[in-house]
Amino acid sequence: MSDDATTVIAQGTFDVLHPGHLHYLREAAAMGDVLHVIIARRENVTHKQQPVLADRQRRDMIAALDPVDSALLGDREDIFVPIERIDPDVIVLGHDQHHDEAGIEHALTERGIDCAVARASGREPEFDDELLSTGRIIERICEQRC
């Protein structure tokens, strides 16, 4: 790999994979040459219900996807530790992630990390009952199986 390769980071919880996740990762991969994906640790997920699947299982599922060059679990204490280690050119946020781009850009600047922050587009369902949300998938399972 050349020194001028564009390194991209995507990040998320990735609990119960669905086509929206794949859309996000494909779009992130298209923004550079190498895609690293940081998977949030269960104990760090505080903005929504904690993942159903274990950290390692979610990491292994993401690592198996074609657009992904490497997948790693986030740091237990500081979300910026893997970002500092990878030193990306671009961080791509999911279209519906709760993160504020300006807040992330400020934190990156404070830490001396020079990279752009972009937001991926959303993906519209391709058919009427296609689910593009882990929460909706879990709701459907509960409706039909519980």
67 is in an annotated binding site: no
13 is in an annotated binding site: yes
Q: Which amino acid is at 110?
A: E
Q: Which amino acid is at 140?
A: R
80 is in an annotated binding site: no
23 is in an annotated binding site: no
127 is in an annotated binding site: no
14 is in an annotated binding site: yes
Contacts of range 130-136, beta carbons closer than 8 Å, 24 or more positions apart: 130/19, 131/18, 132/18, 132/19, 132/20, 133/18, 133/20, 134/13, 134/15, 134/16, 134/18, 135/48, 135/49
112 is in an annotated binding site: no
Q: How far apart are the first and last CA of the chain?
A: 50
Query: Which segments are annotated as binding site?
Result: 13-14, 18-21, 96
Query: Which segments are annotated as binding site for ATP?
Result: 13-14, 18-21, 96
